[in-house]
Structure formats: C-alpha cells, structure tokens
Amino acid sequence: MYADGLRFVAAARAVDRGDWSTSVVRSVDHPAYPVAIAAARRTLGIADSPAGWQAAAQVVSVLAGAALVAPLYLVALELFGPTAGWLACLLTFLVPTTGHVLGDVLSEGVFLLAWTWGVWCALRFFRAGAVRWLVPTIACAGLAYLTRPEGLLLPVALATTLMLTPLAASWRLPRVAWLKAAALIVLGPMLVVGPYVAIKGGIGTKPAVARLLGTAPKSAATAVERERPLDADQSAWTAFAMAWRGMFRAVQGAVTTPLLILAAIGLIRRTPAIDAGRSRGRLFVATYGSMWMLALVRLYATGGYCTPRHALILALPLIAAAAHGLARIADRVAASLPDDSARLARGLTCAAGVALVAGVWGPRSLAPINAESVGYRQAGSWLAAHSAADARVLDLKGWAMYYADRPGYSFADYTASGADPGLRYVVAHDAFLIGEWPYCQAIRDRVGGRPPIASFPDRPKKGVSRVHVFDLTPDVARAGDSATH
C-alpha cells in the first residue's frame, strides 16, 4: 500500500475500537475514509489482521472508484455532450494514476466520488438557476471535506463563481435566485462542516494545509517530503519556476501527455455555449480548476512536492476535455463521408483512440501497485515469522512494522530509537544506508556496520528497492546463520 495508507488504517482501527479522540480529534487525516474502512471490515467479516485491514481499505477504494463512473459521465455530459461522456469514463480508468490510486489504501476514491457528484450538482444549479440543486451540492462538498481538506474548495469555488456572474450578461442569474444561492452557499457549509472544524480547531491539521494557508513555515530544506533538498542559495524566481514545473509535471502524470494534447484540442474546438446556464457551468469549472492549479503551485513552493494524485481534481475535467477532443477528431474524419458511413467512421475513430491509449498505458495501469516497495512487505513477513511479538523495530517507512504487527519507530519518532536499549531490528532499503540526509545517518548509526540478517527480494530486481533487515543483538551471528532467526 501507499505510505499514507498506514495512517488511514491506524485511524480505522481507532474507529473500530471506539477511540474517536484518536480517529477524529487528533488524527491529521479527515475521518470519512477511516470510518468507511472500519465499517467495511465489520460488514464483510474480514480478519482483524494487517492484511485484513488493507483488504478492507482497498474494497472501499475500489467500490468508490466503480461508483465514480456515474458522476464522471454526467459531468462530461454537461460540459461536452454524450459522446465525450462515455469516452471520458473509459479514458479516466485507462490512465495509470487513476487506476492505481483507486485501487490503493488512499482516500482519493471516496473523496472523488463525493467531489464529482458535487460538481455535477453545481453544474445543474448553474445550468437551471434552481437553488434546490445547491442542497445536494453542499452535502457532497461536506462529505468531500470530511474525506480530504481540499473538499472545501467546492463551496469556495461556488461562492467565487456566484460573485462573478453579475459581471457579464451571459452569466447573470435572476436577482432572487442569486440572493438565495448566496445565503445558502454561506450558511450551508457552516452547518455541514462547522462542527467538525470547531472540534479540530481549524480547517485541517495536516502540515501541508497549514503551509498552504500560511499558518506554518515552509518545509525544512532536508524534509523527507521534498523531492530534493532545498538549495541554500535558491532565488525566489527559481523557486517560483520550479513550483510551476512541479505542478505541470503532476498534472502531466495524472492526465498523460497524449491526453493533454487531446484536451487542448477539445478546449479549442469546444462548441459555443448555447445558453447562459452552460456559460456559468464552464465558468465554475474554470474557477475551481484555476484555484486548484494555484494551490498545487503553492503546495510545491512550501512543501517541495506535488504528485499526480494531488492533481486529480484538475485531471478529471481535463480528461473529459480530451474525450471531447477525440470526439471532434472523429467528427472531422466522418465529415467527408456519406451519411450511412459517417456514424461507423466516428465509432471506429473513437474506438481506435481508446485502443491506442489502452495499448500504450494498459500495461502500466495493470501493473502491481507500489511494486517497487514489495521488499518491505516481505521483510514484514520475515519479522512476523522470526521475531518475538514485542521485538521493537526501527523502520522509517513503517511498512515492515505494519505487516509484522510489531512495535517500534518510524519516521515520525525515529530520533527516539537511539535511546532505546531494547531496539532489536532495523529495516531499511539501500537509499537509507547511503543517503546524506540526517535520517539516513541515524539508520547507519543504529546499524553500526553490521551485515543484514536478511534481504528482500533475495536477488536485486530492476525497479524494486532492496530492503535489508539488521539484527542489533550484540552477540548476533552473521547473515545466513539460521540461529539468529
């Protein structure tokens, strides 16, 4: 599982034992996904074990991903029409990032399900001007926020779009509808998420959220979340350029370069808005897309990272635009053909585009999730079989400790391991043993030049990190001696 999944499972276990203080009040993650994990495990009768909790979490993610098809189609239908609707569904699940995120122990599946339904309801509001559509919009925004803090972007974008509508005749709503909508957009989120914000003492307790809002300083120059250490003499212009490049690379990874090209075609060749409602809907999507793009730039500028999964809010409408681009190409191919052949030509062109995407990205989409870190799971299995139940482990990643179900230290508290005379094992991959960062030196200090007692995989494999287990017992035998097991 992805590293963040360890936190979600820990929160779900807290929910399962009724410890709401740990799972809701003190957790850095929002509670909807952990609650769903705990409910799924109990409902399905899945074992209370590390593998069982992972399975329950993945069931929730996969079911949410499957349910995402309906709002994906409806949003693309609203923006670009029926052909783009079904093409958008196909293309979304052929992109490697989407498939891997929706199959992993991550909250994005539940979040995107609530978010996309909320976007569709908002589009219906802007299309018809009927305030009743704001009720499900705000409800979905609340669920999205209770899953991930960026869910708050939905009501913020709603309010911003509403404020912009009087600026152009083609955007304007009737005065009474505008006033009712403004009141509901202000009061609704306060009622839905206000109690949770009050309990938490803020919009979110994730360090990244605090950095985005400017209530916390930037990540340290050598912080583990950074893609690379921050150069001491880096200029403001260089930092700005790197942040924009990081944002673009994240979007490129979430959408893929071919689909970005198709998205550009789809946006350039989009049909004119046939009414004020559609113009307002497009303004809304452009508003939240621009806001999230700027948020990703700031995420990189303050934290030194921005990954494709963070860009999925932007990726979904861009993939819908790519679907429209493919549909417009199909229309162009069919334009010169007789009517009886045009429909077949359109279908074959769309099918060829989908087949090409599947052929290029299918192998990556179907590849095992996080296969590069499988050594940690193997190390965890080894520890479960060869160590005492109370043997303490230093494992910066946390995976081996999780699968072994052993206590110990991870990145959050690794400095305390140096004062623990009962520390028995260190688990680390090669990069931690040779790196220049402070935590790498801490690993080397704990290992003290010992050879590993076991390494996983047994033989090096391209693209897979080799993970080593070190036994810190003073009289430990050397690697390969079964007595040390």
Compare 350 and 479 and report the one with higher pLDDT: 350
Same domain, 151 and 244: yes
For residue 481, name the pLDDT band (cuts at 50, 70, 90): very low
Tell me the average pLDDT of the chain.
Answer: 91
Q: State whether 396 and 432 are in the same domain.
A: yes
Given pLDDT bands bounded at 50, 70 and 90, which one contains residue 242? very high
Contact 238, 244 (CB under 8 A): no
Whether the Cβ atoms of residue 55 and residue 100 lie closer than 8 Å to each other: no
In a domain, 150, yes or no: yes
Q: Are residues 396 and 361 part of one domain? A: no
Give pLDDT tens digits for 130-156. 999 999 999 999 999 999 999 999 999
194 and 260 in a single domain? The answer is yes
Per-residue pLDDT tens digits for 334-345 = 988 887 888 899
pLDDT band, residue 309 (cuts 50/70/90):
very high
- Residue 62, domain member (yes or no): no
381 is a domain residue: yes
Residues 331 and 447 in one domain: no
* Residue 123 to residue 146: CA distance in whole angstroms: 22
Q: Is residue 59 part of a domain?
A: no
Residue 33 lies in a domain: no
Higher confidence at residue 225 or residue 123? 123
More confident: 228 or 367: 367
Name the residue among 238, 257, 251, 254 with its Cα closest to residue 296. 251
User: Does the pLDDT value for residue 120 go beyond 80?
Assistant: yes
Q: Do 376 and 455 reside in the same domain of the chain?
A: yes
**pTM of the predicted protein model:** 0.91
C-alpha closest to that of 391 among 405, 377, 378: 405
End residue of a domain, out of 366, 393, 411: 366
How many structural domains are present in the chain? 2
Section 97-122 average pLDDT: 96
Give residue 3's pLDDT: 83
pLDDT given for residue 229 in this prediction: 74
Residues 127, 113 within the same domain: yes
Mean pLDDT of 299-324: 94
Residues 170 and 281 in one domain: yes
Whose structure tokens read 């909250």? 107
Confidence bin at 235 (pLDDT 50/70/90): confident
From 27-41, 182-196, 223-237, 354-368, the region with the lowest mean pLDDT:
223-237
* Domain region containing 293: 68-366
pLDDT band for 482, please (50, 70, 90 cuts).
very low
Residues 326 and 402 in one domain: no
Last residue of a domain, one of 339, 366, 393: 366
Q: Per-residue confidence at 425, pLDDT binned at 50, 70, 90? A: very high
Going by pLDDT thresholds of 50, 70 and 90, the confidence category of residue 475 is low
CB 30 within 8 A of CB 145: yes
Query: What is the structure's pLDDT at 205?
Result: 76
Q: Is residue 391 domain-resident?
A: yes
Q: Rounded mean pLDDT of 235-253? A: 92
398 lies in the same domain as 466: yes
pLDDT by residue (tens digit) across 263-296?
999 999 887 766 778 899 999 999 999 999 999 9
Last residue in a domain, options 337, 366, 395: 366
Residue 273: its pLDDT value, please? 66
> How much is the pLDDT for 476?
60
Is residue 15 a part of any domain in this protein?
A: no
Residue 480 pLDDT class (50, 70, 90 cuts): very low
Are 298 and 397 within one domain? no
**pLDDT for res 484:** 39
> Which of 41-45, 113-117, 299-303 is the least confident region?
299-303
Which is nearest to 469 in space by CA: 398, 359, 393, 389?
393
113 part of a folded domain: yes
- Whether residues 257 and 125 share a domain: the answer is yes
